[in-house]
Amino acid sequence: METQGKAWDEDAAERVVSVLKAVADPSRYRLLWALSGGRELPVSALAELLGAHVAATSQHLARLRAAGLVLARREGTRIYYRAAEVRDLLEEAARTVHRLPGPGDDGGPGPGPDAVPDTAAQRARAGLLRRRPATGPATGQAG
5 in a structural domain: no
Distance CA 83, CA 36 (A): 5
Count structural domains, the chain: 1
Which residue range forms the structural domain that includes residue 79? 16-101+111-124
Highest mean pLDDT among 16-20, 99-103, 115-119: 16-20
Edge-first strand listing for the sheet containing 41-42: 41-42, 78-83, 70-75
Q: What is the CATH number of the domain that holds 79?
A: 1.10.10.10
133 in a structural domain: no
Report the percentage of the chain scoring pLDDT > 90.
32
29-67 pLDDT, tens digit per residue, is 999 989 988 889 999 999 999 999 999 999 999 999 998
Distance CA 67, CA 16 (A): 9
Question: Is pLDDT of 126 > 80?
Answer: no
45 in a structural domain: yes
74 in a structural domain: yes
Mean pLDDT, residues 97-119: 57
